[in-house]
A = this chain, B = another copy of it.
Amino acid sequence: MRTFVLFASLRNHLSRRFHSQNKNQNQYRLLSSRFLSSSSPPSMASSNSSPAVTIDTINPKVKTCEYAVRGEIVILAQKLQEELQAKPGSHPFDEIIYCNIGNPQSLGQQPITFFREVGLSLHCATIQAILDRSESQALFSADSIERAWQILDQIPGGATGAYSHSQGIKGLRDTIAAGIEARDGFPADPNDIFLTDGASPAVHSMMTLLIRSEKDGILCPIPQYPLYSASIALHGGTLGWGLEIAELKEAVGRCRRPRVLAEENQRDIVNFCKQEGLVLLADEVYQENVYVPEKKFNSFKKGFPIYGVTMGSVEKEEVTWRSLGLLPDIREQIYKMASVNLCSNISGQILASLVMSPPKVGDESYESYCAERDGILSSLARRAKTLEDALNSLEGITCNKAEGAMYLFPRVRLPEKAIKAAEAAKCAPDAFYCRRLLNATGIVVVPGSGFGQVPGTWHFRCTILPQEDKIPAIVSRLTDFHKSFMDEYRG
């Protein structure tokens, strides 16, 4: 059957004209011959009852694409959650704890008040000058209201509900560039900044730009984030995760298992890219949460102005996407792709500018801002340590120290009998373990196979994001499950 689509666009039915008949006939022959030469069974071509598109006639790249962090295990979790709501007590746990994805606020983390206040003040300013009223002054801090007016001045016509420049509002990009400059001590060009609706559209754009065929390879250190393998599959490129590890093993050899990259390791990676003629995509969405006092975040741009793209994120709500010294004609092509989607959401653009210009010493909100930020980061560090220690105390589990971000990637040495049982259940041993864990405890973690792991080794990825008061219960549920699992399958 033909995958042949008709757009009935209300947009343009509203005032349209027609091609001449002759022209159409030519087009028709041209198109139909194309379809005759396609692999679709002609029998179904004009069937009345058959669906217009089936699983066999869609883009095969979509079928091969997998996205572990929202894959089978999460769909199972959603099913269990519905069962719990419909029939409380129907499972040995009373809630599902989602440790599959870095989604802090879904697990109770409070947003930073200052950012919210600015956003609120700003939007108040857009309806009947509500912001001028005494009630508003009483509701929001003075500096957030002042900041709201500043930002409103940067938005053409103060139109927060309008499409913006394709790269994002210029004034906001100026603020972001200034913040980057202050951070790195090197100039940042606002025209090199593209604001997108999260990291995913930025990654998709780069894959669209760079991948011509499966001959084009994308190298990801493993464990890689499934967004990369998924988008590489969707765009038909080749994911390489062997080569660069061997190369980088030497490149970053000074530290046996790099976690937070030291500056000299970054330099080695940059040189490696220069020598090999590689584009470097630096995913720098976690800049704030580095827990080890002796290490700090260094952007790749800092001191390494090479041909590459770096992505930063603000509470994972908006991504600042800076092209590092890309050729002007390449930037034009990126601009064109950005234009097709018109622009990213304005609230996210505003938030990005706030994150790169937080309250300063002396501002009314400075103390509370620092207190909230540091409170979140120190709590994350404590949670990471607790979970890491608990995991390392379990039979056959080894877990690296988390020096930043919000994830653990423990390795689990599974007994032969468990691996056999997984084979019998027709799934990967780590997926088998994760499913059993979910069914027994309601804790959702992601099988390591979705991230890439050394063949014959098994891991799972687990966020450290449940609120602190829940961690002890999670630890004991995890411990009890693992003990009984190992007892069941120990040879």
Q: How far is the CB of A105 from chain B (nearest CB, A)?
A: 4
Query: Chain A 448-479, CB within 8 Å of chain B: the 1/0 string?
Result: 00010111010100000000000000000000
Q: A4-40, CB under 8 A of B: which get 1 and which 0?
A: 1111111111111111110111111001001101100
- A106: chain B residues at CB < 8 Å are 156-157, 159, 162-163
> For chain A residues 151-168, which have a beta carbon within 8 Å of chain B?
156-157, 159-163, 166
Q: Is there contact, CB below 8 Å, between A307 and B53?
A: yes
Contact A62 B308 (CB under 8 A): no
Q: Please name the residue on chain B nearest to A249 by beta carbon.
A: B18
| Given contact pairs A15-B408, A138-B135, A231-B340, A273 touches B52 in the complex (Cβ within 8 A) | yes
Q: How far is the CA of A212 from the CA of B161 in the complex (A)?
A: 36
A392 within 8 A of B: no
Contact with B along A265-281 (1 / 0, CB 8 A): 01001001111111111
Interface centre among A161, A166, A231, by most chain B C-beta atoms within 10 angstroms, is A161
Flag whether A217 is at the interface (Cβ < 8 A): yes
From A256-264, A419-427, A430-438, give the one contacting chain B. Answer: A256-264
A340 contacts across to B, CB distance below 8 A = 65, 67, 200, 227, 230-231, 234
Q: A104 interface residue, CB < 8 Å from B?
A: yes
Give the distance to chain B from A402, nearest Cβ to Cβ, in Å. 6
Q: Which has the most chain B C-beta neighbours within 10 Å: A3, A9, A200, A336?
A: A9
Taking a contact as CB atoms closer than 8 A, the residue among B48, B103, B257, B339 that contacts A17 in the complex is B257
CB distance A457 to B17 under 8 Å?
Answer: yes
Neighbouring B residues of A224 by C-beta, 8 Å: 7, 9, 12
| Closest Cβ neighbor of A197 among chain B residues | B197
Write the nearest CB–CB distance from A22 to chain B, whole angstroms: 9
The answer to whether B8 touches A282 (Cβ under 8 A) is: yes
Q: A4-B278, A17-B453, A227-B340 are in contact. List 8 more A-B contacts (CB 8 A).
A: A6-B273, A16-B400, A19-B242, A37-B215, A108-B157, A135-B138, A204-B341, A345-B348
* B15 and A284 contact, CB distance less than 8 A: no
- Does the CB pair B259–A13 fall under 8 Å? yes
Chain B nearest CB: distance from A60 CB in Å?
7
A192 at the interface (CB under 8 A from B): no
* Contact indicator A279/B6 (Cβ below 8 Å): yes
Q: Is residue A365 contacting chain B, with contact meaning CB distance below 8 A?
A: no
Write out the residue numbers on chain B whose beta carbons fall within 8 Å of the beta carbon of A101.
163, 342
Q: Which of A110-118, A173-181, A354-362, A439-447 contacts B (4 or more CB under 8 A)?
A: A110-118
Least CB distance, A255 to chain B, in whole angstroms:
10
| A12-B224, A223-B12 as given contacts; A283 in contact with B7, CB under 8 Å | yes
Are B277 and A209 in contact (CB-based, < 8 A)?
Answer: no
A399 to B14, CA, bound (A): 12
Question: Do the beta carbons of B11 and A405 come within 8 Å of each other?
Answer: yes
A371 interface residue (CB < 8 Å to B)? no
Residues in chain B near residue A282, CB distance under 8 A: 8-10
Query: Which B residue's beta carbon lies closest to that of A114?
Result: B127
Count of identical protomers in the assembly: 2
Chain B residue nearest in CB terms to A123:
B120
Q: Cβ of B261 and Cβ of A10 under 8 Å apart?
A: yes
Query: Which chain B residues border A330 with CB–CB below 8 Å?
Result: 53-55, 58
Verify A4–B272 contact, CB threshold 8 A. no
Contact of A9 among B21, B104, B283 (CB under 8 A): B283
**Candidate in A159, A217, A272, A408 with the most chain B CB atoms within 10 angstroms:** A217
Would A327 and B120 count as touching, CB distance under 8 A? Answer: no
Decide: B108 and A24 in contact? CB cutoff 8 A.
no
Judge whether A70 and B315 touch: CB under 8 Å: no
Q: Of the candidates B8, B13, B285, B409, which one forms a contact with A280 in the assembled complex, judged by CB atoms under 8 Å apart?
A: B8
Chain B residues lying within 8 Å of A284, measured Cβ to Cβ, are 10
Give the chain B neighbours of A402 by CB distance below 8 A: 14-15
Whether A116 lies near B126 (C-beta < 8 A) is yes
Closest 3 CB pairs of A and B: A27-B242, A24-B246, A106-B162
Question: Contact between B209 and A58 (Cβ–Cβ < 8 Å)?
Answer: yes
Compute how far the CA of A344 lies from the CA of B258 in the bound complex, rounded to whole angstroms. Answer: 34
Provide the bound-state CA to CA distance between A401 and B14, in Å.
Answer: 9
Across-interface contacts of A279 in B (CB, < 8 A): 3-6, 52-53
Say yes or no: is A194 at the interface (Cβ < 8 Å to chain B): no
CB <8 Å contact, A13 and B70? no
Interface residue from B9, B25, B35, B116 paired with A246 (Cβ < 8 Å): B25
A51 contacts B by Cβ under 8 Å: yes
